[in-house]
């Protein structure tokens, strides 16, 4: 007789339940786009990065599973409406909203679940996934439990902020995500912010830096954080920026950054003397990527979230309910 490992059975049931939850989320989204937004199947396929055949089968499955009757039924119904409003107002390809909690750890866990569902749909073996840096991405990477192993290569899209071993470092985020998905990660051997333009020009000729920036041209999907300009910003905590730097950026009208591309509140890139010292994939490379997923939440993030979307640097948004509500309330 074979023995049953109760622990393995519990783990199996947990992941099957999580997988079913993500499947139902996708079925509800497709049904809403088809029945409520009146989008055709090819438009839905293009928007969500899946085949038209899968859209057709999902519509049938949604009806069979009673997700679609006269209206769309979903345990996330109140979020479905918020997501649709944000997608339409800001012309997003997709928006995923999670509940708001007093405990940030729980928000990170829910964001990681949402990201896993999106990446499972967008990525396939052999793809390159671009990543940024920061506390939010670090936390989401730590909590994410992929629905499937995908043999991806994870590429840092900017130099390191913080010490090389720090958990917010781009190399750390890339390494954790690659390990979780069963893929591999590349490391960038350069700080994000150098001491001078001359130092940047020298480093950009380095074979490692050149390889990373060349690989960025082949990235179709990336995951980025968004930082505000505030004295409690992680950018100051890492020691790469000073209070004087932030005061200078604020004087230029900077609302925050995505991948160290500084933006004003209208989404226009603000060029400063600091740009001459930054090692990162430039804005034009980000805009060429098919899917750029931005993850951020909190009252201080609204301005940079809106700016990032307006700039065209972000086209998929993951955030929490409170942030989403504020984004809709603000004009």
Q: pLDDT tens, 185-217?
A: 999 988 888 888 898 888 888 898 999 999 999
The rounded distance, in Å, linking the Cα atoms of 297 and 262 is 18
Please answer whether residues 61 and 29 qualify as being in contact, where contact means their C-beta atoms are separated by less than 8 angstroms.
no
- The residue from 75, 96, 120 where one domain ends is 75
pLDDT digit string, tens, across residues 286-309: 999 999 999 999 999 999 999 999
pLDDT digit string, tens, across residues 225-243: 999 887 777 777 766 778 8
| DSSP letter string, 181-211 | HT-EE----SBSB-S-HHHHHHHTTSHHHHH
> Are 92 and 43 part of one and the same domain?
no
> Are 268 and 189 part of one and the same domain?
yes
> Are 128 and 226 part of one and the same domain?
yes
Q: What CATH number does the domain containing 31 carry?
A: 1.10.10.60
- The residue from 35, 51, 75 where one domain ends is 75
pTM: 0.80
The mean pLDDT value of the chain amounts to 87
> Are 164 and 256 part of one and the same domain?
yes
Predicted local confidence at residue 305, as pLDDT: 97
The rounded distance, in Å, linking the Cα atoms of 318 and 94 is 9
Joined together, the tokens standing for residue 331 give 């004009």
Predicted local confidence at residue 245, as pLDDT: 86
Q: Is 1 part of a structural domain of the chain? A: no
Q: Does pLDDT of 10 surpass 60?
A: no
The rounded distance, in Å, linking the Cα atoms of 152 and 181 is 7
Joined together, the tokens standing for residue 302 give 């609204």
> Are 204 and 259 part of one and the same domain?
yes
Domain coverage including residue 36: 6-75
- What would the mean pLDDT of 99-108 be, rounded to a whole number? 93
CA-nearest of 8, 235, 29 to 132 is 235
> Are 59 and 148 part of one and the same domain?
no
DSSP class of residue 224 equals E
Number of structural domains (the chain) is 2
- What would the mean pLDDT of 59-83 be, rounded to a whole number? 76
- What would the mean pLDDT of 176-183 be, rounded to a whole number? 95
> Are 185 and 62 part of one and the same domain?
no
Angle, alpha carbons 22-293-286 (nearest 5°): 150
- Cross-strand partners of 223: 131, 293
């Amino acid at each position: 007789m074979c023995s049953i490992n109760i622990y393995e059975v519990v783990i199996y049931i947990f992941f099957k339940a999580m997988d079913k939850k993500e499947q139902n989320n996708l079925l509800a989204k497709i049904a809403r786009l088809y029945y409520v937004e009146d989008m055709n199947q090819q438009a839905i396929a293009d928007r969500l990065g899946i085949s038209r055949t899968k859209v057709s089968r999902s519509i049938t499955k949604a009806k069979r599973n009673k997700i679609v009757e006269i209206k769309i039924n979903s345990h996330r119904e109140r979020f479905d409406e918020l997501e649709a409003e944000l997608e339409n107002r800001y012309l997003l390809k997709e928006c995923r909203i999670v509940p708001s909690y007093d405990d940030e750890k729980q928000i990170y866990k829910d964001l990681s679940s949402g990201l896993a569902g999106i990446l499972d749909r967008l990525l396939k073996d052999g793809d390159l996934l671009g990543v940024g840096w920061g506390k939010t991405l670090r936390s989401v990477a730590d909590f994410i439990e992929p629905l499937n192993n995908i043999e991806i290569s994870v590429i840092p899209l900017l130099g390191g902020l913080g010490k090389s071993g720090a958990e917010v470092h781009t190399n750390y985020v890339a390494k954790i995500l690659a390990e979780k998905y069963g893929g591999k990660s590349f490391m960038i051997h350069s700080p994000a912010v150098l001491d001078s333009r001359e130092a940047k020009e020298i480093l950009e000729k380095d074979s490692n830096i050149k390889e990373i920036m060349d690989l960025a041209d082949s990235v179709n999907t990336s995951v980025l954080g968004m930082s505000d300009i505030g004295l409690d910003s992680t950018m100051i905590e890492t020691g790469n920026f000073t209070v004087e730097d932030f005061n200078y950026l604020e004087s230029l009208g900077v609302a925050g950054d995505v991948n160290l591309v500084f933006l004003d509140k209208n989404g226009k890139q603000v060029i400063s003397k600091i740009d001459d010292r930054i090692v990162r994939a430039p804005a034009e490379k980000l805009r060429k990527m098919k899917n750029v997923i931005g993850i951020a939440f909190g009252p201080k993030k609204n301005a940079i979230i809106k700016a990032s979307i307006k700039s065209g640097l972000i086209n998929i948004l993951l955030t929490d309910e409170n942030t989403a509500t504020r984004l809709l309330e603000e004009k």
